[in-house]
A and B are shown apart, each in its own frame.
Chain A
Amino acid sequence: MSDRSTGPRFGRSEAAQGYLLVATPLAYALLLLAVPLGAILLFSFWTQDYLTLDTTLTLKNYREAFTDPLYGELLLRSLLISAAVTAATVLTAFPIAYFVSFYVPPERKAMWIFLITIPFWTSYLIRVFLWKVILGYNGVFNTTLMGLGIIDEPLTFILYNVNAVVITLAHAYAPFAILPIFVALEKIDRTLLEAGRDLGEGYVMTFLRVTLPLAMPGVVAAVLIVFIPTIGDYVTPRLVGGPDGLMIANMIQTQFLKLNNAPMGAALAVLAMAMVGSVALIFIALTRRFLRAPR
C-alpha cells in the first residue's frame, strides 16, 4: 500500500493524504470543541460583576465553590449518583451481553443487539418523563402492586429522590454498557474456554479466570462511557430527582441562564469535569493490567 501511495503517480505521501482528509473534521473539532473548552476554562477564572464581565484572572469562583456547602454537596452527590448508575448499569448489562454473545445463535445476534439499541434512539425527554409516570404516587408501578395486593399504600421512596434518578439513568445508558461488553465477549476465542475446562476447571472458575479477564477491556469501556456523561445529566434529575436528587448540571444551567453568572457556571463545569476525569484516570490505572494486549 505504501509503495503505491508514494509512487510517482500519486505525488503525495501517505501521511500527507491522511492529513488532507482529516483536516476538515479536525478543524471543526478544534474550532467548536477545543477552543470552546479552553474558553470555559478561561471563563472560570473571570468574574461576573452584575452586567459586566470582569476579566482579571482570579480564583474567586473556585474559592466560592469550595466554601459554599451547596456547591460541594451538589458535586459530591453528582459523583456518587454517577458511580451508582455506572455500577447498576454495568452489573445488569453484563449478563445480557454474555447471553447474546454466548447463547444466542449467530444469525440472531444482530437482531438482539438491534432490539437492545432501539429504546435508546427514541426521544430521551419522553423516556425520562415516562419514568415519572411509572414511578409516581399514582403511577403504573404503585397501582400495579396495589392491584396485586402486594402493598397497601403507594411507595413514596421511588420518585423525586436519588433512587428515581439512578433507575432512570441506568435505563438511559443501558445500551452504552451492553455494546462494549458484547464486543469484548465476541472477541474471545471460544477454544480458550474449552481448554480451561479440559484442564479441569469448572464452569465458574473458567468464567472467572478466562472469560472475565478477557472481557475486562469491554467492561472498562462500558464503565467510562456510562460514568463520564452521566455526571452532566440535566433532564433526569430535574424531572424525577425532586429537590434532593438535583445534580451539578442543574446548577450549571441555573448559573448560566438564570443567575447570569457564566463564570461561576464555568467554574462548576470545570470542577465537575476535573472530578470525573480524575476518577476515570484512577479507574483506568487500577484496571490497567487487564487492558494490556494479550501476547
Chain B
Amino acid sequence: MKRSLHVYAVLYLAFLYAPIALLPVFAFNDGTVIAFPLRGFTFEWFRQLTEIPALHAAVLNSLTIAVASAVLATCLGILAARAATRFEFPGKKGIMGLIMLPLVLPEIIVAVSLLVVLLQLGLSLGAWTVILGHVLIATPFSIAILNSAFQGLDTSLEEAAIDLGETKLSSFRLITLPLVMPGIISSLLIAFTISLDEFIIAFFLTGTDPTLPVYLWGQLRFPQKLPVVMALGTILVVASVLLLTIAEYFRRRGAARTGQKDAGGFL
C-alpha cells in the first residue's frame, strides 16, 4: 500500500512539474520551432530578451503594480486577520466571508464587474485600476497566511506588556508586530507573486500599458517569438521559485517563533 502510494505520488509530482521542466529545455534550444527533436544549445533567446523595449516597459509596469498590490493587500490582510483572530463581533462570519469571496470567485467575474463600474464612472484604465483588482484577489491569500500567524500568538504576552505600562499601540508595535513579522513578509511575497502572474484582471483593466502577462499573451500568437517567450518564462519561474522559497522560510520561522506545529502549506 505504502509503496504503491509512493510511486503514485512521484508520478503525480512528475505530472505537476512536467510543463515547468520543459521550459528551460526549449529556452536553450537552438531552433525556432517548439517541438522535439532538440537542435543545439544557445543563449540567443535570452540575449534577444534584452533588446525588446516593450518587454522592459511591461516588466516595469508589472513590478510597480505587484509592489503596490502586495503592500495594500498585506495592510488590509493585517487588519482583517487581527480582527478575525483577536475579537468576536456580530456578523463576523458574513463579513469575513465577503472579504474572502474572491478566493473562489472566477477571476473573469471580478474583472468584468470592476470594468463595468470603472467605465460607468468615466474613469480611465491604467496601472491603478489593475492594482485595485489585484488587491481584491490577493487580500484573501494574505488573510489566510496572517490568520495563522496571529492565531499562534499568545495574547497573554500583549496583556503582560500592557500591565507593565505600555500602551495598546506600543505593545502591538513591540510585542505583536515582531512575532507576526515572518507572516507579514510571507504575505507580501505571496501577494507580490499573485499580482505578477495574474492575467485576466490585468487583461481587462490594464488600458494601454500592458503588464507582463498581458504582453506575453500578445506574443503567444506569433510562432516565431515563442523561443523568446520560453526564455522569459524560464526567468519568471526561477524568480517565482526563489520568492516562494524565501516566503516559505519566513512562514516556517514564524510558525517556530510562535510555537506552532508546522503542518506546511500557504493556504
Interfacial residues, chain B to chain A (CB-CB below 8 A):
1-2, 5-6, 8-9, 12-13, 15-20, 22-23, 26, 33-37, 76-77, 79-80, 82-84, 86-90, 92, 95-96, 98-99, 101-110, 112-117, 119-120, 132-133, 135-136, 139, 143, 155, 159, 162, 168, 190, 193, 197, 199-200, 204, 213, 216-217, 220, 229, 233, 236-237, 240-241, 244, 248, 252, 262-267
| Complex CA–CA separation, A16 to B89 (angstroms) | 8
Q: Are B263 and A109 in contact (CB under 8 A)?
A: yes
Q: Are A110 and B8 in contact (CB under 8 A)?
A: no
Q: Which residues of A contact B12 (CB under 8 A)?
A: 92, 95-96, 174
Beyond A15-B88, A26-B99, A133-B26, is A21–B82 a contact (Cβ under 8 Å)? yes
The answer to whether the Cβ of A43 comes within 8 Å of any Cβ in the partner chain is yes
Minimum CB–CB distance from B28 to chain A (whole Å) comes to 15
The answer to whether the Cβ of A182 comes within 8 Å of any Cβ in the partner chain is yes
Q: Are B116 and A110 in contact (CB under 8 A)?
A: no
| Complex CA–CA separation, A182 to B266 (angstroms) | 12
The answer to whether the Cβ of A17 comes within 8 Å of any Cβ in the partner chain is yes
Flag the segment in A58-66, A158-166, A265-273, A283-291 that touches B: A265-273
1-40 of chain A: CB within 8 A of chain B: 1, 4-5, 9-10, 14-19, 21-26, 28-30, 32-37, 39-40
Q: Which residues of B contact A4 (CB under 8 A)?
A: 159
Q: Which residues of A contact B77 (CB under 8 A)?
A: 25
Apart from A21-B87, A22-B83, A174-B16, what 17 extra A-B contacts exist at CB < 8 Å?
A: A19-B83, A22-B79, A22-B95, A29-B99, A33-B113, A36-B116, A37-B113, A110-B263, A110-B265, A114-B264, A114-B265, A118-B241, A125-B217, A127-B19, A229-B107, A253-B108, A262-B116
Give the top 8 A-B pairs by smallest Cβ distance, nearest first: A232-B106, A110-B264, A18-B87, A36-B113, A130-B19, A18-B89, A113-B264, A21-B83
Beyond A92-B12, A256-B112, is A21–B80 a contact (Cβ under 8 Å)? yes
| Complex CA–CA separation, A235 to B105 (angstroms) | 16
Q: Which residues of A contact B9 (CB under 8 A)?
A: 95-96, 99-100, 112
| Complex CA–CA separation, A111 to B237 (angstroms) | 19
Q: Are A115 and B13 in contact (CB under 8 A)?
A: yes
Q: Which residue of B lies closest to A239 (CB)?
A: B220
Beyond A126-B236, A139-B35, A228-B104, is A257–B204 a contact (Cβ under 8 Å)? yes
Q: Which residues of B contact A265 (CB under 8 A)?
A: 112
Q: Are B117 and A269 in contact (CB under 8 A)?
A: no
The majority secondary structure among interface residues of chain B is helix
Q: Are A124 and B8 in contact (CB under 8 A)?
A: no
Q: Which residues of B contact A133 (CB under 8 A)?
A: 19, 22, 26, 34-35
| Complex CA–CA separation, A25 to B190 (angstroms) | 18
Q: Are B108 and A33 in contact (CB under 8 A)?
A: no
Q: Which residues of B contact A117 (CB under 8 A)?
A: 244, 265-266
The answer to whether the Cβ of A122 comes within 8 Å of any Cβ in the partner chain is yes
Q: Are A29 and B136 in contact (CB under 8 A)?
A: yes
Partner of B106, one of A96, A123, A229: A229
Minimum CB–CB distance from A119 to chain B (whole Å) comes to 5
Q: List 16 A-B contacts (CB under 8 A).
A: A5-B87, A9-B162, A21-B80, A37-B113, A40-B113, A109-B264, A114-B264, A122-B237, A122-B241, A126-B236, A140-B22, A180-B267, A230-B106, A232-B107, A239-B220, A273-B106
Q: Are B6 and A99 in contact (CB under 8 A)?
A: yes
Q: Which residues of B contact A234 (CB under 8 A)?
A: 108, 200
Q: Which residues of A contact B266 (CB under 8 A)?
A: 117
Q: Using an 8 Å CB-CB cutoff, how does the interface string of A203-232 with B read, 1 for contact, 0 for none?
A: 100000000000000000000110011111
| Complex CA–CA separation, A10 to B105 (angstroms) | 39
Q: Are B89 and A126 in contact (CB under 8 A)?
A: no
Q: Are A125 and B199 in contact (CB under 8 A)?
A: yes
Q: Which residue of A lies closest to B77 (CB)?
A: A25
Minimum CB–CB distance from A18 to chain B (whole Å) comes to 3
Minimum CB–CB distance from A182 to chain B (whole Å) comes to 7
| Complex CA–CA separation, A143 to B22 (angstroms) | 14
158-217 of chain A: CB within 8 A of chain B: 171, 174-175, 179-180, 182-183, 186, 203
240-282 of chain A: CB within 8 A of chain B: 249, 252-253, 256-257, 262, 265-266, 269, 272-273
